[in-house]
Structure 1
Amino acid sequence: MLKSLRCYVGAATNTEGPPAIGVTRLSHRRLIRLSGKDAPKFLQGLISNNLGPTTTTPFYSAFMDARGRMLWDAFIFPDSNPKSAEWTCFIEVDSTEADNLLRHLKRHKLRSKIQLQLVEEEAGGVWASWQSGDSNNIPGGLPDPRAPGFGQRILISGESIKGGPIREVLDKHMVDLRWYHLRRYMYGIPEGPQEIPPTTALPMESNIDLMNGIDFRKGCYVGQELTIRTKHTGVVRKRILPVQLYRGNEVLPTAETPAFDPQWTFDDPSNEVSQSKDIKQLSDDGTIKKGRAAGKLLGNIGNVGLALCRLEMMTDIRVSAEGGSWRPGMEFGVQYPEAPDADIRVKPMVPAWLREREQQMWSKQKAN
């Protein structure tokens, strides 16, 4: 039944931007089923958020390597069915990394009494929905903890969508997956290996802490040492932010959130969509300045994208006591060595939710 629903995707397309109400299957995400007597204890030692044998509420988390670098961003969905014979959960991860995560879990299994299984796409999947003013338009969904008002996530099996309120919502509000990704970019939410490169990205630079993916009071887990050390130093110099793309003949954007222009086209001079691009400050004549990069463009849909930004170089956020080099009116551009005349400019934006959570986190740190 799930498979047959795919023909609906794209039926409610809005060319002006993400629709106010929408639901779409996250076909780029897969599920791994973990169960067994030792499953909670086993998973607790591998993820950045807290988990116990009585946990029934879904949550967002991350897997890291021993150096504290990101491996995978993930959602954990514990099975709250009281009839379950043993503790069970579903781990949601990017589909291109599902096999790698499965091997990672098996490598750490040792003598733990657990069972692991990659869920077939036809058996069930992860869906996202959103509704202006009410993020819970599908019964039983998880309000997405990464950013307030972003929407909700829900596991839907073939059986549960044959009828009833879920079926009605799907039939009425199905939209293309593209709008989900565009909304992510506008909110400043990274997801998957292209935006959070495995073994390279740091969790706090990827906003995992601000997106409720790390419990700093938790005990030992793989990658904890560097994460806790970063928290205690109180310094995160780079973060992923939404960005507005524009050209030199266009006016410098002044809005606080990206505005999607369906007529704006972007021909990547490097023809490497998955390869991040350096962002550098521009001189008064619009040429790229020499020196270290101020950030990296991670991905975009038209004129809206995500970038890893040095906060004190590209925004008004102060990380150090002396402050940074950012000044109002500064402009930045994407550097293309293979096409030096390309004029793609980048305006970073700090979402209100991110600024508020960032300030709250460091205020608590200073108070302690």
Structure 2
Amino acid sequence: MADFVSFPKRGLVCVSGPDAATLLDGLLTHNVAGAGPKACVYTAMLTPQGKFLFELFILAPEAGTYWIDVSDPASFAKRLSLYRLRSKVTIEDKSEANVVGAVWRAEALPTGTICYADPRHPDLPQRFIAPRVELPSEVEDAFAAYEQARLSLGVPNLAADLLVEKDFILEGLMDEMGGVDFHKGCYVGQEMTSRMKRRTTVKTKLCRVRFDGEAPAFETPILADGWEVGRMRTGGSGQGLALIRFDRAQKAISEGQELQAGDQTVRLDPPNWMQVPS
């Protein structure tokens, strides 16, 4: 069993200055006031049309300074800078000097590492930020072990399981995981996100699925009697996540049809914390 896993596609961006909180609050699905040295705010950055861009885990080691764990940190820093205008804010990509990841045994990490609870699910391992030069080596299959743990809980990694600028965060279960504050002030993409929550039923969502053997490839169509009811996203051995159109899938299942992804039979297995569309 691995002690920890580093996330090769994620990095650390530091946003600081007198206007840092104001800038972030106007862009993200959660206010950053709840962030602290070990208190994480889980949130997202969207397009003006409400489509997914970045999934963020934010800490505040001190007042006015925010450490942001994000996939593709260079792209995030560049997009954030477009909104900075005349704000008194410094945006720094600190990924070369720091590693972000998850840890099962915190004592295996060097002194100075910051560990904090993953806000998406209490059974996920803690996340961490550590100096890159001091990080010890990890076992070869650590990422596979982490992915199996994540998938077994049905927890999405939106950076891997949603399509950027195409999918919506409510399809990615972000409200169920506490990543959206529906009572905060305006932010980019708020209108569409609020409309989906309050005025319509979200019929398409990421859902844990089971199958025998290896996972179907990413974006493999899931069919029922030749009609598409979803698409495969991240998969592991015997389990994965798929973006499912629930009204179509449930109708097919009620009629005795199997769901097929390539040559695999797929079974829906939503976790008990997920709000399944009726």
Q: TM-score, structure 1 length as denominator?
A: 0.66
Give the corresponding residue for 2:68. 91
Q: Structure 1 154/333 Cα, relative in aligned 2: closer, same or farther at 3 Å?
A: same
User: Aligned with 2:177: secondary structure?
Assistant: coil
2:271 corresponds to which of 351, 355, 359: 351
RMSD (Å), alpha carbons: 3.0
Indicate the structure (1 or 2) with the bigger Cα radius of gyration: 1
Q: Distance in 1 between matches of 2:252 and 2:107?
A: 42
Q: Distance in 2 between matches of 1:302 and 1:234?
A: 35
Q: Structure 1 352/130 Cα, relative in aligned 2: closer, same or farther at 3 Å?
A: farther
Q: Distance in 2 between matches of 1:147 and 1:137?
A: 22
Give the corresponding residue for 1:51. 32
1:69 aligns with 2:51: yes
Give the corresponding residue for 1:109. 84
Unmatched tracts of structure 2, length 5 or more: none
CA contact (8 A) 1:130 1:136 kept: no
Q: Distance in 2 between matches of 1:68 and 1:55?
A: 24
Q: Distance in 1 between matches of 2:107 and 2:153?
A: 18
Give the corresponding residue for 1:318. none
Q: CA deviation at 1:120?
A: 3.3
CA contact (8 A) 1:58 1:76 kept: yes
1:156 aligns with 2:99: no
Q: CA deviation at 1:290?
A: 3.0
Runs (4+) of structure 1 moved beyond 4 Å?
135-140
Give the corresponding residue for 1:290. 226
Unmatched tracts of structure 1, length 5 or more: 1-11, 14-21, 81-85, 247-263, 282-288, 316-323, 336-342, 363-368
Q: Distance in 2 between matches of 1:216 and 1:305?
A: 29
Amino acid at match of 1:61: T
1:167-214 deviation line (CA, Å, top 9, x unaligned): 8xx98x996111111222222222254411111011100111111110
Q: CA deviation at 1:65?
A: 0.4
1:305 aligns with 2:240: yes
User: Aligned with 2:248: secondary structure?
Assistant: helix
Q: Percent identity?
A: 26
CA contact (8 A) 2:32 2:58 kept: no
Amino acid at match of 2:163: P
Q: Distance in 1 between matches of 2:196 and 2:107?
A: 34
2:13 corresponds to which of 25, 32, 56: 32
Q: Distance in 1 between matches of 2:158 and 2:144?
A: 15
1:148-169 deviation line (CA, Å, top 9, x unaligned): 312221222358x68xxxx8xx
Q: Distance in 1 between matches of 2:255 and 2:272?
A: 18
CA contact (8 A) 2:209 2:267 kept: yes
Q: Distance in 2 between matches of 1:137 and 1:148?
A: 21
Give the corresponding residue for 2:260. 333
Q: Structure 1 60/290 Cα, relative in aligned 2: closer, same or farther at 3 Å?
A: same
Q: Structure 1 265/349 Cα, relative in aligned 2: closer, same or farther at 3 Å?
A: closer
Alignment of 1:130-145 (within 5 A): 130=104, 141-145=115-119
CA contact (8 A) 1:23 1:174 kept: no
Give the corresponding residue for 1:250. none
Q: Structure 1 136/349 Cα, relative in aligned 2: closer, same or farther at 3 Å?
A: farther
Q: Structure 1 72/334 Cα, relative in aligned 2: closer, same or farther at 3 Å?
A: same
Q: CA deviation at 1:87?
A: 1.2
Q: CA deviation at 1:38?
A: 0.5
1:224 aligns with 2:159: no
Give the corresponding residue for 2:222. 279
User: Aligned with 1:104: secondary structure?
Assistant: helix
